[in-house]
Copies of this chain bind each other. A is one copy, B any other.
Amino acid sequence: MGIAERKEREKEEMRELILRAASKIFLEEGYEKTSIRKIADAIEYSPATIYLYYRDKNELLHGLHVEAFQKMMQEFSKIAPINDPFARLVEMGHQYIKFGTQNPELYNLMFLMDAPMEALACRNEIWDDGLRAFDALRIVVADCIEAGYFKEPDVETISMTIWSYIHGLVTIYLKGRMKMFDDDRELERMQQSFALFIKMIKAI
C-alpha cells in the first residue's frame, strides 16, 4: 500500500515547507518578527494549518535550532585538517567566535532562548545537539591532553571551562554589553581577550 507512504512523504514535505519559510523570516527579520501568522502568509496557508505539523511555536523554533547546530558543526569540520591538537583547539575557538558574531539570531536560538529547550523538555528528550557540539570540543581537548599540552587530566572540566569562557565572550558582545566601552574596538577587545585566554590554558 504506497498510499500511506505518499502521505507520510507529503507530511514531511509540508513540515519542511513550513520550516523553510520560518527559517527565511527568522534570518531576514529576526526572532521578534517571526510570527505564526507571518509564516502562514509566506506559505499561503492559514495559521491553524501550522499546528497540524508542529505542536507549537517552541517545536518550530527547535527545528530551526537543529539546523543552526548543523551549520555550526559544518564550520567546525574545517578544523579537522589541522594536525596539532592545540592549534586545532585555538582554531575551533576562532570558528566559534566567528559563527556567533556572524549569526547572532541563530546563536541566540542555540544557546540562550528558552523555546527550543522547552520543546525538548515536554518531549522528555535530552539536548542532543548541544551534547554533540560539546563532544566535538571534548575530543579536541582530549587530544591536547594526550599530546601533553595540559597537565590537568579532567577533560570534562577543561572543556566546560573553555566553553564557558568563549560563550560568555560571544554573549557579552551579542547582547550589546560591550558597547559600554564607548570606542568601537569591540572585536579587537574580543581578539585580545581570546589571545590571553589561550595563554592561560597553555599553562594548565
Contact = CB atoms under 8 A, between A and B. Distances in A.
Interface of A: 111-114, 117, 126-128, 130-131, 134, 152, 154, 156-158, 160-161, 163-169, 171-172, 175-177, 179-180, 182, 189, 192-193, 196-197, 199-201, 203-204
A134 B111 CA distance: 24
Dominant secondary structure at the A interface = helix
A160 to B, nearest CB: 5
Name which of A128, A165, A171, A177 has the most chain B CB atoms within 10 A of its CB. A165
A74 to B, nearest CB: 21
A157 B190 CA distance: 9
A176 B120 CA distance: 11
B171 A117 contact: no
B161 A196 contact: yes
B203 A171 contact: no
Given A164-B168, A167-B172, A171-B168, A130 B201 contact: no
Given A111-B177, A167-B168, A171-B168, A161 B200 contact: yes
A126 B165 contact: no
A176 B114 contact: yes
Given A127-B177, A160-B189, A171-B171, 6 more contacts: A160-B192, A164-B168, A164-B169, A164-B193, A196-B204, A200-B204
B182 A111 contact: no
Counting from the closest, the 4 A-B pairs by CB-CB distance are A168-B168, A203-B203, A164-B168, A164-B169
A180 B131 contact: yes
Given A111-B177, A168-B166, A169-B164, A192 B154 contact: yes
Contacts of A165: 161, 164-165, 168, 197
